[in-house]
Amino acid sequence: MVSWSGGQWYLLVSEYSSGKLAAYDVDDNGDPINASRRDFVTGLTGAEGAFLDPYSGDFLFTTFGGGNRLIAIRGFIPNPQ
């Protein structure tokens, strides 16, 4: 999922087996820059599906197994279109 914040594009990736969401800077083609990887959310069980609401900017994702949850992270700038 590519998102926009503070004048920069970045990619958020759900990492199911590690229980994390990772953030990557992206290049001009929208491809992740591997060396830029950083933890965005940790301590999850089965992080999967993700959605960025283009109107509110809320980032929604789900977890599966060991407490199935829908989690919202607020404060993102809606994508400029």
Number of neighbouring beta carbons within 10 Å of residue 76: 17
Nearest to 50 by CA among 17, 24, 13: 13
For the segment 18-76, what is each residue's pLDDT rounded down to a tens digit?
888 899 998 888 889 999 999 998 988 888 888 888 888 888 888 887 678 888 888 77
pTM of the predicted protein model: 0.74
Measured CA to CA, the distance from residue 9 to residue 27 in angstroms comes to 9
For the segment 13-26, what is each residue's pLDDT rounded down to a tens digit?
888 888 888 999 98
What the block records as the tokens of 66 is 């060991």
Measured CA to CA, the distance from residue 27 to residue 45 in angstroms comes to 30
What the block records as the tokens of 40 is 């965005």
What the block records as the tokens of 70 is 């829908």
